[in-house]
Each structure stands twice: as C-alpha cells, then as structure tokens.
A and B are shown apart, each in its own frame.
Chain A
C-alpha cells in the first residue's frame, strides 16, 4: 500500500453565476499513512468535497500536488476507489456484477471476478442479494454494495464522500460499525468526508478539521477498537474528543 500526500493543494475556479473567480481550496497539505483512517470534517463550503474530487481525479487542481507514493496523480484511476453519497451503482447490473466491475476492468476472467465479488459481498453480509438489481435494495444495502464495490478493486486509497448521509439514522449507525469492522479486517487507507462530527470521531484514527479551504487542526483519535455505538455513547474520551472537534467546526 502507498502513501498519499497533498502538498499545498489549491483549487480556484470561475463561477459563471457570480461572474468571478472563487477559491474553494486555498492551501492544503496532508500526509496519509498507508492503512490509516482519516475523517475530514468542516462546515459547508470548507472545500472538503472539492479536495476529495481532486484526489479522485474528477476535477483538476489549480496548484500544488497530489502524490501517491511520490508520483503525481491526474484523472481518475483504480488505485483510488470512491464511495459516493448517491451510491452511484449501475442500475443495469446485478449486485454481483456491480461488485465485480473493478476486477472486470482489470481483465479478471468471469469465474474469478464472481468469486472475488462473492467474497466481498459476504464481508458486508450481502451474499443473499448477489443476483438482485440495485433498485430492489434499500438505501443501506445499496451503500454496502457501494463500499464493497470500491474495496473489491483493492485500491491504495478509499475515498468516501459523505457516504452515509442519505440513509436513516439507525442504518447509518450499523453501517458505521460495519465500516470500522471491515477496515480492521482489511486495513485499507481511508479518507472519509463528513459534516457529522460524531461520525468522524467514531470512525477515524485522525480527524482533520477544515475551514475556508485550509486545514484548521488535526486531532488524533486514540479510542480502542472494535468500536461500537453502545459502548462509545457512554465513553468519556469519545465525548471529550467529539466536543473538541465540534467546537472547532462551529468556530470554523
């Protein structure tokens, strides 16, 4: 696995409605260790989604560098997997074929990619849904598919853009617990964008707080794993950390 570095990253674009240049990201530098789980929080407009889209290669960056193991990245690529807020599953493919899509793009033969897809579906407790279509699944199940579809491609970095924002509160907690469990099992490098402070602290090893296109502060989360909500809601350390992050976000 590889190290991801952002060096003085910036994004300025022309806003045709305002008729002016707008700077969404001023100057962001960040190193993400292999196998690290970082959450990026901040108020709306702080540039967190823009940063993620630049790392994913969906939009070009205006200044600075994005380096994966020292090499600059441009454009989307399979070494950076993405989990979307809107799930972005292919409606015309079964769950199995959605998860097997990445391996298919690598030229993995059908039988082998089905085996890989089944393995990852089992990891998310979705074996029974292999032959259903996305529209036949609940939102929570669709996003489980979204997560394992990205993981099945074995990316160096997993980029998650508010992936649980559009599911109900109960399901969100379950998905968060499942994500920490899967992360512990596979140890992918994760950058998780959210505006939910509790979610950020619950999931991450490190929380990065953004404000107006800059890194405001970073907080290490030393909570033990496995993390489950039943324990953490009563945990003083969790409450302390959450309160600190929340204070920063509100002041941001």
Chain B
C-alpha cells in the first residue's frame, strides 16, 4: 500500500510540475513573440534609434546598467518606496474598511468621501505631496500609500459586507466576543476582497510610483526613464519599461498569486483560476 501510495504521490507531483512548466511556457510565449517581431521590424525598416532602439542596443544598455550597478540602485529605491507605501496603506485601510463594514453609520458617512477620493487616488496627489514632503522619498511614499489606501479600504468594506450573517451568529452563539469576531470571522471572511484590493491597489501604486519618480526624485525606475529621455537614450527607456513590466509580473506571480492559493482558494471562497 505504501509503495503504491508514494508512487501515486510522485506521479501526481510530476504531473503538477509538468503542468506548471507548461503554464509558464504559455505565459512567456506571447512575450517572446513580441520580442521576435521587434527584432525583425527594427532592422527591416531601418528605424532611427532615437525613435525606437534595436533589441541589441537594449541588451547592451541592460548589461551596462547591471555592470555599473545603477539598475540595482534604481530597482532597490523603487521597491523600497512601493513596499513601504503599500504596507502603510494596507495597515491603515483594513481597520478602516472593517469599521465601515461593521458600522452602517460610519459607512454612510465615509462612502461619499471614498467615491470622491478614489477618483483622485495616486498621481493627482503628486503636486501637493511634493509641497508637503519636498521632492523625494516622503512625497513618493505618500502617493503610493494614497493609491493603495482607498481601493483596499473600499474592498475591505465590501468583503465584510459579503460575509453571511449566519457566520457572525454562529460565532456569537459559540461564545465569540467582539475581538474574536473581528479576528476569527471578519478578517478571514473579508480576506478574498482584501487580496483583490491589494492586487488592484498595487497596480495603481506601481503606476503612481513611476509617475512620481519622474518628477520628485533623483533615483528610481521612473527617474531612470526620465533622465534617459533628455539624452535621447531610447534603449535605456525601453529597457526601463521592460524592467517595470517584468517586476510587476514577478510581484504578482511570486507574491500575490501564491497568497491567494494558500488561503482563499483552499477555503473554496473563490473559484480556482
């Protein structure tokens, strides 16, 4: 029995790893196709490098920035800002969203404000943020916080509201007090929506980051693009854009998707993708 059991386990693990390899290949294939088209089109039409760079030039720019370490300085600065802004955003938005979900009065009072500010969230705050915090770290983190805050708070509110009332009744009749209700029912119950909010919010934040860095700093991926433009370095600009896109995919695939898998998919609260 044990032998067949472990064989079965091994073969299903094999199938799973083949499947995930296949999935990764399916994901990368369209991106590679785009690169292939680019590699053909640029020399074919003899595109001016000031308009669009060749694949080789971008590759060289990539190697340069890795060799002299500027890439890591930019990426590190950008990730630190986005990480800090997002953490502050989540830490403040989730409690507020839960308070709104629990209290109809709080929700009724804050909802118009949320409607108003969610339109403005993110880059519209860059000018005033630079006035408040000066050009640099503080202003950029604020813009990211702002982009994450409203969407996470609003999704948390939705999440709390979608928890079936019988679950709260069940917890109460099993002896749960207010604190236990919060930690044992409301937070995990709202988690699917909170994760959705974080995913959307991080998307906003990432875009806000690039915009803010073009204006308000002297290091970071947005700054890297902006400075390259002054010198007509299209190969650096395109390389920077690729880094921005790839980093986002990595954050999404390596951080957010596994978080969903381990929690809400396992609990059957969202359908498996």
Residues of A within 8 A of B (CB): 56-58, 75-78, 80-82, 84, 86, 88-92, 101-102, 105-106, 133-136, 149-150, 153
Contact status A105-B191, CB under 8 Å: no
Top 4 A-B pairs, shortest CB-CB distance: A135-B268, A78-B175, A105-B175, A76-B172
Residues of B within 8 A of A (CB): 164, 166-167, 169-177, 180, 184-185, 188-189, 191, 263-264, 266-269
Complex interface: chain B residues within 8 A of A88 (CB): 164, 166-167, 169-170
Contact status B269-A91, CB under 8 Å: yes
CA distance A191 to B174 in the complex (A): 17
Q: Is the interface of B mostly helix, strand, loop or mixed?
A: helix
Complex interface: chain B residues within 8 A of A133 (CB): 266-268
Complex interface: chain B residues within 8 A of A78 (CB): 173-175
CA distance A162 to B220 in the complex (A): 61
Contact status A135-B174, CB under 8 Å: no
Given A58, A92, A101, A136, which contacts B169 in the complex, CB threshold below 8 Å?
Answer: A58
Complex interface: chain A residues within 8 A of B170 (CB): 82, 84, 88-90
Contact status B268-A101, CB under 8 Å: no
Given A81, A92, A136, which contacts B174 in the complex, CB threshold below 8 Å?
Answer: A81
Shortest Cβ distance from B130 into chain A, in angstroms? 42
Contact status B169-A76, CB under 8 Å: yes
Complex interface: chain B residues within 8 A of A90 (CB): 167, 170-171, 184-185, 188
Shortest Cβ distance from B189 into chain A, in angstroms? 7
CA distance A86 to B267 in the complex (A): 17
CA distance A136 to B269 in the complex (A): 12
Q: Could you write out 17 A-B pairs with CB less than 8 Å apart?
A: A57-B173, A78-B173, A78-B175, A81-B174, A82-B173, A88-B164, A88-B167, A90-B170, A90-B184, A92-B264, A92-B267, A92-B269, A101-B171, A105-B177, A133-B268, A134-B268, A135-B269
